[in-house]
Amino acid sequence: MRNSARLSMVVVGILSVLLVVSACHRNEEVKTNPYERLSKADMKYKNVQLVNFFITPRGVQETDNPKGVLADAQSSCAAELMKSNLFENVKYVSTAERSDSTLIVQGELTQMRIVGTGARIWLGDMAGRSEMTVHVKLIDAASGNLVSERDIREDTNPFAGAYSAGATDKMLPLQVGGLIAGYIIDTSRK
C-alpha cells in the first residue's frame, strides 16, 4: 500500500510540473507579436501617417488632461505599428501629405472617463469604470478616399482598478492605442 501511495504522489507531482511548464510555455506564446507571420509584402500600404489626434468639439467628460491621455494613445499606436515591422515608415504629421502607398490615420477622441487614483483608493470599484472611445478614419493618401472608419472603444474592470489601486485605469490609453494599431494593420492587409 505504501509503494502505491508513493507512486501516486510521484505521478501527481510529475503531472503538476508538466502542467506548470505547459502553462508557462502557453503564456510565452501569447506575449509574442500576433502579426509575426505577416510581412511587408502582405500589406497594401508601405507608409502610415498619423495625423495629430484631436478631441471632439463637444468635449469629453474627463477634464484632467485629455490631451495628454490622447497623446499617450497615439504614441502607443505608433509604437505598436513600428514594432510590427510591417511598414516602411510610420510618422506623425500635423496635416496629411498626399503620397503613394500611404495610409492616413485620423483619430477623434469622442468619449473619455478615467477614474483618478484617489477615487480608486477611497471608493474602489464603486468609483466606476474608466472608458475611452476614439473614432478612427483610415484614408488612402493617393486618392483621398475613405478606406474605413470605426469607433475603437475600451473600458476597464472596476474591480481590477480597485485591486491595482488605479493601475489598470492608467493603462487604458495604451490599450486603446494598441487596439487602433491592430485595426490599422488588419485594414491594411492585402
Q: What pLDDT shows up at residue 140?
A: 96
Tens-place pLDDT, residues 146-183:
999 999 999 887 777 777 777 888 888 999 999 999 99
Q: What pLDDT shows up at residue 29?
A: 47
Residue 51: closest CA among 110, 136, 112: 136
Q: What does DSSP assign to residue 124?
A: G
Main-chain dihedrals φ then ψ at residue 77, nearest 5 degrees: -60, -50
What is the distance between the alpha carbons of residues 110 and 153, in angstroms, rounded to a whole number? 10
What is the distance between the alpha carbons of residues 187 and 79, in angstroms, rounded to a whole number? 18
- Weakly modelled stretches of the chain, pLDDT under 70: 1-33, 62-64
Q: What pLDDT shows up at residue 49?
A: 96
Q: Which residues contact 25 (CB under 8 A, 6 or more apart)?
A: none
Q: What pLDDT shows up at residue 12?
A: 58
The tally of CA atoms less than 13 A away on the side-chain side of residue 72 is 13
What is the distance between the alpha carbons of residues 7 and 162, in angstroms, rounded to a whole number? 45
What is the distance between the alpha carbons of residues 96 and 132, in angstroms, rounded to a whole number? 25
Q: What pLDDT shows up at residue 149?
A: 97
**Alpha carbon separation from 109 to 61, 137, 182 (Å, rounded):** 11, 12, 18
- pTM above the 0.85 mark? no
